C-alpha cells in the first residue's frame, strides 16, 4: 500500500498538542498554537525532491545529514538555523520521522504543552 506521505506527516504533526496547519509559502505547514512553525512540507517547491523541513535541536542537522545524506539534507532558507530536511521520496521509517517531528515540536512548544505531551 502506497500511502500519501503528506497524510502520514499531517497525522504525526496534528497528533501533537495545540498544533494547527496552514499554508506557508505555498506549502502545508504546521504550527504550535498557530504561531511558531516547526514543520514545512516540501513538494518539489525548491527542487525536484519530495520531503519536509523540520526545526531540530542543536547538532541534529549535522548528525543526520552526515550520517545519511540520501535521507536528510540542509534545507534552503532555514538550514542555517539548524533545521533539517527529510526526503520522503525514499523508503521512510515513519517511527523515526515521528521522533524527528516531535523533536522539532519540542523546540518551539511552551512548557505547558510539553507537559501535556509528556503526560503531565
CATH number for the domain spanning 10: value is: 3.90.1150.30
Ramachandran class of 19: left when φ > 0, alpha when ψ lies in -120 to 50, beta otherwise:
beta
Tell me if 120 is assigned to some domain. no
Q: How many domains does the chain have?
A: 1
pLDDT of residue 3: 81
Q: Which three cell numbers stand for residue 50?
A: 519530495
At residue 43 the predicted structure's pLDDT band, cuts being 50, 70 and 90, is confident
* Per-residue pLDDT reduced to its tens digit, 14-31: 999 999 999 998 899 999
Q: Is 21 helix (H, G, I), strand (E, B) or coil?
A: strand
**pLDDT of residue 1 exceeding 50:** no
Tell me if 41 is assigned to some domain. yes
Predicted model pTM:
0.93
Tell me if 107 is assigned to some domain. yes
Give the chain's mean pLDDT.
93
Is the pLDDT higher at 48 or at 98?
98
Give the closest residue to 86 by CA, choosing from 55, 118, 107.
Answer: 55
What is the extent of the structural domain holding 30?
5-115
Tell me if 99 is assigned to some domain. yes
pLDDT of residue 44: 67
Give the closest residue to 27 by CA, choosing from 70, 72, 88.
Answer: 88
For 97-114, letters b (16+ CB in 10 Å) and e give bbebbbbbbbbebeeebe
Amino acid at each position: 500500500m502506497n500511502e500519501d506521505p503528506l497524510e502520514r506527516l499531517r497525522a504525526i504533526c496534528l497528533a501533537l498538542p495545540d498544533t494547527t496547519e496552514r499554508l506557508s509559502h505555498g506549502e502545508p505547514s504546521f504550527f504550535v498554537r498557530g504561531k511558531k512553525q516547526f514543520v514545512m512540507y516540501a513538494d518539489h517547491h525548491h527542487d525536484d525532491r519530495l520531503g519536509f523541513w523540520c526545526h531540530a535541536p542543536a547538532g541534529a542537522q549535522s548528525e543526520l545529514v552526515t550520517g545519511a545524506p540520501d535521507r536528510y539534507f540542509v534545507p534552503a532558507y532555514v538550514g542555517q538555523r539548524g533545521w533539517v530536511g527529510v526526503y520522503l521520496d525514499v523508503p521512510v521509517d515513519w517511527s523515526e520521522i515521528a521522533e524527528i517531528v516531535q523533536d522539532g515540536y519540542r523546540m518551539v512548544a511552551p512548557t505547558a504543552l510539553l507537559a501535556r505531551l509528556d503526560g503531565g
